[in-house]
Amino acid sequence: MSSDKPWIQATKARWQELNVESFLVNIGIDFKSNFLEPISSSNLDSDPYANSIWQIIPHSLIPQGVLHCYPKEITSQKVIWEEWFVMDNEIHHHILSNQPFASAQGIWTPEPNDVDHPIEVLGRSWHYENSKDLKPTLY
């Protein structure tokens, strides 16, 4: 069974540590169907988010904060950064990349004094999509 893979167990443990289920339920996202089922049924041998950090980060405009899955290191190779949050009663799942991708809807560049996003993602522009699919994109 794929859920026995060490990377899946480690990710689930990290989500539990962060209380991701409670965070997602509070913002209206079904944790089981959007997070647990996709990772549990993954056929991948290794973690597609191995270079990423799962973290809930406070945000000056979003009282509940934002769930991020952002790259530890950004090189010239394509990386994905994702964030989930609610703003103006609307659920957002942003998929961002340091390189263009087919479904991208625009380019976003953080302000130099940005305090609401991980330091690792600052200082560059990001191609982004506000995805209707709430599942982590790499599973």
The closest of 24, 21, 15, 20 to 91, measured between CA atoms, is 24
The closest of 85, 73, 77 to 131, measured between CA atoms, is 85
pLDDT tens string, the chain, 139 residues long: the values are: 445 799 999 999 999 999 999 999 999 999 999 999 999 999 999 999 999 999 999 999 999 999 999 999 998 899 999 999 999 999 999 999 999 999 999 999 999 899 999 999 999 999 999 999 999 999 9
pLDDT at 1: 46
54 within 8 A of 68, measured Cβ to Cβ: yes
This prediction's pTM = 0.94
